[in-house]
Homo-oligomer: A and B are copies of this chain.
Amino acid sequence: MNVRQKPERTRLSAEDWEDAALSLIAEQGVGALAVEALARQLGVTKGSFYWHFRTREALLQAALERWEQYGEREIISQIEAIPDPRERLPELFRRVAHELQPHRVYAALLKALDHPLVVPVMARVSKRRTEFLHTAYSEAGMEANEALNRARLTYAAYVGFLQLNFTLGLPRLNHEEFDAYVEHMIATLIPA
């Protein structure tokens, strides 16, 4: 038995609550975000929560902002660092495909598009990513208008894949099948 299974920090900060909220969202969805449940998970009671946050919605708001902030910064900069523009998209596809954790929150938020707080966040994030794809396709030599539609198509394929395989667990591809699928995507969506 480990001495400190959890950090065992006797006092909590607002950020601790936000992180806990995000991981709970990733695992059980936005709907499962309840303050008493979170408190139990953190080993405290509601009394703590309502000192740090005015309401449940306030926590969700803060957690979403936090997620939007520290979201995709690294990957984008890594891809932009690749000198040859024509190599960026395949590399992006492969990198994103082998991530896992970052998708969980996004997939969960996708299922919470009813909630008025998550809609604007998802709108901004999706817009940024699509625009990133747009310029990537353009820099790879694709005509402007086609590049935009291809970016939309690509991002839609990504989002749909999350829903079908991630959340729904539909075809439950094994490793080889998944890699073959990714290469197929690259072959059909990225110009030679």
Which residues of A does B touch, CB under 8 Å? 28-29, 31, 110-114, 119, 122-123, 126-127, 130, 145-146, 149-150, 152-153, 155-164, 167-171, 180-181, 184-185, 188-189
Picked from B28, B145, B152, B159, the residue with its CB within 8 Å of the CB of A159 is: B159
Contact A168 B111 (CB under 8 A): no
- Nearest-Cβ distance from residue A111 to partner chain B, whole angstroms: 5
- Nearest-Cβ distance from residue A136 to partner chain B, whole angstroms: 16
This chain's copy number in the assembly:
2
Picked from B149, B170, B185, the residue with its CB within 8 Å of the CB of A181 is: B149
- CB neighbours (8 Å) of A119 from chain B are 168
Residue of B nearest to A30 (CB): B114
Picked from B146, B156, B170, B171, the residue with its CB within 8 Å of the CB of A160 is: B156
Known: A149-B180, A184-B149, A189-B188. A113 touches B156 (CB 8 A): no
Q: A185 CA to B160 CA in the complex, in Å?
A: 15
Contact B163 A123 (CB under 8 A): no
- Nearest-Cβ distance from residue A25 to partner chain B, whole angstroms: 11
- 19 A-B pairs in the complex with CB atoms less than 8 angstroms apart: A31-B114, A110-B111, A110-B163, A111-B114, A113-B167, A126-B164, A126-B168, A126-B170, A130-B170, A146-B184, A149-B180, A149-B181, A152-B164, A156-B160, A156-B164, A157-B157, A160-B161, A163-B163, A188-B188
Residue of B nearest to A189 (CB): B188
- CB neighbours (8 Å) of A184 from chain B are 146, 149-150, 153
Picked from B114, B158, B162, the residue with its CB within 8 Å of the CB of A29 is: B114
Q: A171 CA to B126 CA in the complex, in Å?
A: 10
- Nearest-Cβ distance from residue A182 to partner chain B, whole angstroms: 9
Given contacts A119-B168, A126-B170, 5 further A-B contacts (CB under 8 A): A28-B114, A111-B114, A155-B160, A157-B157, A160-B160
- CB neighbours (8 Å) of A149 from chain B are 180-181, 184-185
